[in-house]
């Protein structure tokens, strides 16, 4: 479903930036600004179906501490341009990530990447291709293995229909994303249908780390995450090639629902590992 992105942007009250991509599209970069200039920016990559808006629960309190916080709406999501629920290629995604990072690095000495859920894959693409421009990494709500029964397996005929449709019309979203307890059902900026090529680009099986991460890394999972167990998240944590890494379980938090004070350990980790200019 296409939406009137330009019209909806007019209703946005908080600060934002627009990234003009090298192929002529515009990406929406939501901003939570500290009261005075900062030397550290945090770039949030949102989860599947989502956009940057719901990350207010992190952006607002952390910006008040002095960090500049930004949330990127992926192409075809939120208030960014592009076919809803689609990405033309992995190469284009990598370029979009790089152009966003380059925009922020012109303004800030240090950059921390924050990936949530599907955004963890985006964050790791950033690390694999732009490692020298990154100074810290937060991975939230992620693991390689999901809880049994979270997603229903597609029938053979449904799978065949999706593959055939994708060959004829690769830009058409044909895969419906659904799980119990999803948020954003009443938000027009959320997506619930995706193209086959989008899902291939964001296949968790392709998740990989660079050979070495020479900066602080945090991996966290909600105590009540509906998709991943703490054990599965810790298994992914054990793969992280860093001598400076920490694993946390966020109290009372779900996969995309973080009650008040559930992010306290994450915020403490930020203050322990990064120094804001006075």
CATH of the domain at 130: 3.40.50.1820
Q: Angle 118-130/90-105 helices, nearest 10 degrees?
A: 70
Mean pLDDT (the chain) is 94
Kindly state the average pLDDT of the residues 108-131.
98
Question: Which DSSP string do the residues of 3-37 spell out, in sequence order?
Answer: --HHHHHTT--S-EEEEE-TTS-EEEEEEE--SS-
pLDDT at 2: 64
Q: Which domain holds residue 257?
A: 5-273
Residue 270 CA to residue 258 CA, distance in Å, equals 17
Residue 162 has pLDDT above 90, yes or no: no
Residue 150 CA to residue 181 CA, distance in Å, equals 10
What's this model's pTM, rounded to 2 decimal places? Answer: 0.95
> Is 51 inside any structural domain?
yes
Residue 34 has pLDDT above 80, yes or no: yes
> Is 150 inside any structural domain?
yes
What's the number of domains the chain is made of?
A: 1
3-state secondary structure of 88: coil
Element (H, E) at 250: strand 245-250
> Is 278 inside any structural domain?
no
Q: Hey, which of 5-9, 175-179, 232-236 has the most confident mean pLDDT?
A: 232-236
Kindly state the average pLDDT of the residues 184-195.
88
**In the structure, how many helices (H) and strands (E) does the chain have?**
8, 10
3-state secondary structure of 93: helix
pLDDT at 216: 98
Percentage of the chain exceeding pLDDT 90:
80
Residue 205 CA to residue 121 CA, distance in Å, equals 10
> Is 145 inside any structural domain?
yes
């Amino acid at each position: 479903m296409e939406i009137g992105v330009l019209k909806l942007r007019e209703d946005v009250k908080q600060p934002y930036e627009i990234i003009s991509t090298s192929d002529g599209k515009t990406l929406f970069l939501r901003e939570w600004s500290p009261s005075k200039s900062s030397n550290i920016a945090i770039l949030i990559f949102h989860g599947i179906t989502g956009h940057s808006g719901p990350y207010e629960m992190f952006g607002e309190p952390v910006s008040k501490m002095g960090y500049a916080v930004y949330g990127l709406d992926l192409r075809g999501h939120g208030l960014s341009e592009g076919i809803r629920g689609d990405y033309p290629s992995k190469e284009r995604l990598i370029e979009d990530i790089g152009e966003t990072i380059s925009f922020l690095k012109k303004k800030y000495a240090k950059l921390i990447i924050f990936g949530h859920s599907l955004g963890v894959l985006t964050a790791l693409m950033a690390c694999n291709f732009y490692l020298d421009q990154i100074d810290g990494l937060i991975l939230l709500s992620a693991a390689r293995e999901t809880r049994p029964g979270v997603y229903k397996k597609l029938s053979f005929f449904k799978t065949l229909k999706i593959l055939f449709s994708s060959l004829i019309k690769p830009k058409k979203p044909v895969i419906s994303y659904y799980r119990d307890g999803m948020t954003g059902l009443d938000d027009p900026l959320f997506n619930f249908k995706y193209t086959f090529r989008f899902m291939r680009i964001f296949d968790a099986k392709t998740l990989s780390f660079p050979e070495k991460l020479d900066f602080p890394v945090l991996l966290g999972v909600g105590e009540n995450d509906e998709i991943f167990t703490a054990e599965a998240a810790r298994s992914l944590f054990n793969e992280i090639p860093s001598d400076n890494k920490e694993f946390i379980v966020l109290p009372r938090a779900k996969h995309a629902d973080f009650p008040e004070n559930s992010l306290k350990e994450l915020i403490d980790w930020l203050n322990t590992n990064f120094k804001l200019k006075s």
